[in-house]
Amino acid sequence: MLIQKGFSLLPLSLLSFTMLSGVAIAADACVTAPLVIAHRGASGHLPEHTLEAYMLAMRMGADFIEPDLVPTKDGQLISRHENDLTHTTNVAVVPQFADRKTTKRIDGIPITGWFSEDFTLAEIKQLKAREPLPGLRPQGVEHNDKFAIVTLAEIVGLVKQFEADTGRKVGLYIETKHPTYFRYEGKTIAGNPIALDISKMLVQQLQQLRFTEPNRVFIQSFEVQNLLELKQQWMPALKLNIPLIQLIGDTEKAYLPPKDSFSVPYDVFYHQQQSTDLASIYKDSSSLLAAEPKPLDYSVLLNDKGLNFMHSYAAGIGPWRSSIYQKHSLNLKPFVKAAQQQGLKVHPYTFRAEANYLMPKDEKTTFSYSDEMQALFKQGIDGLFTDYPDLALEQRALFQRSCKM
């Protein structure tokens, strides 16, 4: 395991801190420190979803680390952002796996590559992680082909060992990837149905691993059905009460099927296409679905009825960062405060420091990363996902210092 020796947080003097005009300070912004969630680990520094990236994030001080989970052929949960292994591992250059390359439809989108469900865990362990953004992050490329692909059990073991060594508890913020694909639609390269309920598998494994404290685990999903079933079936059966987070994709209908699926909860779209009785699946949602559009898009979940529905099963929402701001400003849209007033935590994703990810201020300039962090903290955001937990933690410390003045 890589441990970056001599790592230290950046000094405050190296980070700009601009007092933003026009951003109102929420009355309770200084009461509770917002969570800093290490998106795929410290993925701005090291290849994502590796023990090394998770360890670095924990050493930086992140409150939670975020594993994304997909299954193997033999039903093991491993941490990859997608079941397509092509761009995050060296699978394309491993000769013995050349014949595993195929084309599948993932959430309705054709993708050609190598897929986790076609490999046993033993075969997965023959692969190594790679930086998925090589042009943008040469610092990650330097560590290509060094780090293993890891299981949920190994991640839990790492977090427990970190706690034993340091006395500090770090949480897991876990995403179940493509539940509808793995349960209903997906097939292996041999043509056999995958037929795995990865959400049920997740809570069963967390219980076996004895990592189920409600203040140390979140389970998140872009889909709705699996969260409802976790809340209503799988967690009660195991006597668990892990908080659930409804992820929210694009709300401007810019990524609708059949070209993309980022504007819709794919499970709802799938069942609409199958002419399924939605009320039998999405219980307590009759008022929301009474006049549902086809396809139902994420914006429907952010009106009053949608927020009320989500509050019936979720502890919070995770909106896409590009959907939370009013135009050419860092002022949050009204749905953020409305969600909080419903009792939902709001944890937007994903905040990155590279210039091409900064939010536009006007046609020629952008807000800085520190501008954005301070604006979010001032407006009482509950937490955020970032590839650079070190920078977000510095900005949180600055904000907390200003609260004491």
Which residues are tagged catalytic?
39, 81
Bond preceding residue 258 cis, omega within 30 of 0: yes
Do you find a cis peptide bond into 112, omega within 30 degrees of 0?
Answer: no
> What is the spatial distance between Cα 401 and Cα 24, in angstroms, rounded to a whole number?
18
CA distance linking residue 121 with residue 65, whole number of Å: 22
3-state secondary structure of 69: strand
**367 residue type, one letter:** F
Q: Are 64 and 108 in contact (CB under 8 A)?
A: no
Task: For 208-327, list the strands marked E by DSSP.
Answer: 217-221, 244-248, 316-319
- 240 secondary structure, DSSP code: -
Q: Determine the number of helices (DSSP H) and then strands (DSSP E) in the chain.
A: 15, 12
Q: Residues 350, 321: contact at Cβ < 8 Å?
A: yes
Distance from C-alpha of 38 to C-alpha of 158, rounded to nearest angstrom = 15
Evaluate whether 211 touches 77 at the Cβ level (below 8 Å): no
